[in-house]
Structure 1
């Protein structure tokens, strides 16, 4: 591990699930009518060719995990389930009115919150309503996020009956001290039972989410967590850096920076975790992801077909992603839109019969050019450019900012493009940031993003 590079590049940087990143959306130029027109155009262009992706945000949790950066609503009242499902289905009907024929569903993901907060029967009701009068793409992939502490065999069976074959379990860390301070509890036995039940039922891919840099986390506790995880042999693992943003997520104020590993220790946590995963037979996919041979995500990466959107890395590539539910983000390729972030505002908009979009961004030609390069770097580790067909000034400025990274051995830079080196794989966020024209045109006065390391 090169501590000099780790220290140098440990700066606040976006995770680049989109470009421009949300703080740089030009919201003043955006209208809901523009968004609807963009959805119509993108659907006509791509539905028969690629199908569409759907993300459904299910925000409810019975308790607050203090590390969490997601949009959640904490409640033990399960009476919220049916009214929320009815609102999501009404929103979907609004989008269906913009489509000139039946949508081809290629990708469907349930995120949260805690999707398994909802009863199995209610999840079945939701998915049946979404899939009514649609077609399934031959390569359709359905997945959901699950809490090991409340996921039942009934959840797994009902969703499997509706086409789900992949689930992601939020583990984070097995250490009791870490679980206590982040208020996230699940036992090894619970994780084992859900994993084995899913495989018996017929799920073909099980992912575990793990986080490094959590409060009270140590090298020994991480090694133990990795060892326990390896015994359960998940098909893929997302190994994320904890994003400490208490100015955005007040729940993180339960602990302080003094409880967090310092930057050198956090870097060691990552390097040790990464090394252990490779020793266990996992291969690196893009940024923060690891998979066993034969996993669909790894196969897509090896075939140059990996894609990245607001849901993260995926083996499915669609032009149109529609996000349903409170705070969900949609992408038509030509525009982005985000739903109301407050549950009451979302429900009020649905009741009024209008799409609950409250902000967005219309892509410029320059945005689309930069987006192409950032997407290629994040997914394939390389990109090519053409001075004659791209916005020259912004591209030239980005290439100039890349030169120090090439000097440090993170990339191989030439006149036609760049290739990320093995050393640079650790610094994908920094490499993309050099090309981020909007960020450099308006550098933030305060910290907007989590640290890169």
Structure 2
């Protein structure tokens, strides 16, 4: 029996928000001192031209969502807010002490966890505290993730007044049986309310996150969710595959059985139906798993080949230096990565000792930088080339590994370039894997990654 392309290529693989991917970081050669030197170098190269980005991780949630793979701390005790913000500002001050002058901030993204777990006053205190050490870049873009069940009008208005113009709301799916399975009961009314509030206040980019491949999810559920979404007309959408990684996230992703998840062709059909509906409603596919209206900055960036991808996901603008603040956050200087401790108590302790809470990282070598650029090209522009600056000695081996993917019509290879076809869009991660020299040299012996399709 002939297998489908989905069955053929649906293998475990990285999501490529970085290269090298975290499991292949060379931690033995990494020190906090090397990281400090790296971000200082990047700052000196980019601050005036591009500014820097901040990713701020706010880990607290009032309840556990079983689909979530983020680092979080479940609590209903809101007294934790002030202690955590004090720690964030201490960490930021430690970074600023290492810089020769005030940084100019181009991007801020508040992620989580649940950023809207924090009160309006505490969010204001956080952002004002950040800018007591920094300036705003001329073309800044600030964004945050909002939970439709607890985002208030006051939070939206205050963050807007502080410069935020983009907000994304986690929808996942509107079917009650799916919401019960993932422990995320969230009526359409709540999503509509916060979406209309954001539009009324003046947010210029409102996003919704939708997931396919969730437990008990059917084609009818996806159709209903996208029809409801279209009625609200968000500016952009993330429509991505559920990453089932219980071996990493423990009991948080064991709230249902494996057999309750749609698989292979059934799962892919959920995406194809959803994608077709989105196209009919004027949404354009951007990179991997993202869609946007032509008026949105994400579409414009993709159209002008200025799309960027990092640990925050896709971005309409690029900064060379991204500093991650908060427990588990990852920083990126382009030349190196650094990750904070995932343990909240350790995070507080290191800051009390006036130490950056970085516990691991990777210094990129020349080969890493070349491959990183190829993978960025593939995920952002769906093409790459290996001219003089991006040539590397294993290119012929990579092309050999891509022969079958080319035969299946997923890519077109020319003399010194590669382009992903429309049929190849669902398999971008597989194509990137052929360029991943770390993965090629050492295949994982245990479960590390979610499935690619």
CA separation in 1, counterparts of 2:390 and 2:207? 40
Answering whether residue 238 of structure 2 is matched by residue 253 of structure 1, we say: no
1:278 match? 279
Deviation at residue 415 of structure 1 after TM alignment: 2.2
- What secondary structure, in the 3-state scheme, does the structure 1 residue paired with 2:203 have? coil
Report the equivalent of 2:355. 354
Q: With structure 2 as the length reference, what TM-score do the two structures score?
A: 0.98
Of 438-447 and 79-88, the range deviating more from structure 2: 438-447
Q: Could you tell me how far 1:11 is from its partner in structure 2? A: 0.6
Q: Does the alignment pair 1:320 with 2:308?
A: no
Evaluate the alpha carbon distance shift between residue 87 and residue 420 of structure 1 in structure 2; reply closer, same or farther with a 3 A threshold: same
Q: With structure 1 as the length reference, what TM-score do the two structures score?
A: 0.98
Q: Deviations over 1:116-161 (max 9, x none)?
A: 0000110000000011242211211000001000000010011011
Q: Contact between 2:411 and 2:421, CA under 8 Å: does it hold in 1?
A: yes
Alignment of 1:111-126 (within 5 A): 111-126=111-126
Instruction: Give the match's secondary structure for 1:48.
Output: helix
Contact 1:105–1:137 (8 Å) recurs in 2: yes
CA contact (8 A) 2:14 2:449 kept: yes
Contact 1:143 1:165 in 2 (8 A): yes
> C-alpha deviations, 1:403-443, integer Å up to 9, x for none?
22111111111221101111111111011010000000001
Contact 1:50 1:317 in 2 (8 A): yes
Q: Distance in 2 between matches of 1:435 and 1:283?
A: 27
Give per-residue Cα distances to partners, 1:249-270, cap 9 Å, x unaligned: 1211111101111222101111
Question: For residues 298 and 3 of structure 1, what CA distance do their matches in structure 2 show?
Answer: 35
How far apart in 1 are the matches of 2:3 and 2:109?
38
Residue 46 of structure 1 is matched in structure 2 by: 46
Residues in 1 aligned to 2:269 and 2:262: alpha-carbon distance in whole angstroms: 10
1:213–1:269 CA contact under 8 A, matched in 2: yes
- 1:403 maps to 403
Indicate if the aligned counterparts of 1:172 and 1:211 stay in contact, CA closer than 8 A.
Answer: yes
Runs of 4+ in 1 over 2 A off after TM superposition: 386-391
Q: What's 1:364 paired with?
A: 365
Kept after mapping to 1: 8 A contact 2:247/2:447: no
Q: Is the 8 A contact 1:39 1:98 kept in 2?
A: no
TM superposition shift of 1:3: 6.6
Corresponding residue of 1:445: 445
Counterparts of 1:99 and 1:180, CA distance in 2: 48
Where in structure 2 are the equivalents of 1:53-452 lying within 5 Å? 53-250=53-250, 251-386=252-387, 390-392=391-393, 394-452=394-452
1:374 counterpart SS class: helix
How far apart in 1 are the matches of 2:311 and 2:28? 22
Aligned residues: 451
Structure-2 separation of matches of 1:265 and 1:321: 38
Counterparts of 2:430 and 2:164, CA distance in 1: 35
**Higher deviation after alignment, 194-203 or 54-63:** 194-203
Q: How many angstroms apart in 2 are the aligned matches of 1:91 and 1:9? A: 42
Q: Take 1:286 and 1:60, find their aligned partners in 2: how far apart are those partners?
A: 30
SS in 1 for 2:271: helix
- Partners of 1:276 and 1:283 in 2: CA distance: 11
Q: In 1, Cα distance between the equivalents of 2:294 and 2:43? A: 34
CA contact (8 A) 2:96 2:133 kept: no
1:131 and 1:195 mapped to 2: Cα distance?
A: 28
Do the aligned residues in 2 keep the contact of 1:237 with 1:290 (CA within 8 Å)?
Answer: yes
For the residues of structure 2 that align with 1:426 and 1:445, how far apart are their CA atoms? 25
Task: Name the stretch that deviates more: 395-404 or 180-189.
Answer: 395-404
Gaps of 5+ in 1: none
SS at match of 1:370: helix
Distance in 1, Cα, partners of 2:128 & 2:135: 13
CA positional deviation for 1:388: 7.7
Deviations 1:39-98 (A, max 9, x none): 111000110111000000000000000110000000000000000000000000000011
- Say whether residues 1:25 and 2:25 are aligned partners: yes
The two structures, once aligned, show a CA RMSD in angstroms of 1.1
Measured in 2, the distance between the counterparts of 1:90 and 1:402 equals 48
Contact 2:170 2:209 in 1 (8 A): yes
Could you say what secondary structure the match of 2:79 adopts? helix
Q: Given that residues 13 and 433 in structure 2 are in contact (C-alpha distance below 8 angstroms), is that contact kept between their aligned partners in structure 1?
A: yes
Measure, in 2, the Cα distance between the counterparts of 1:289 and 1:38: 31
Deviation (angstroms), 1:389: 6.3
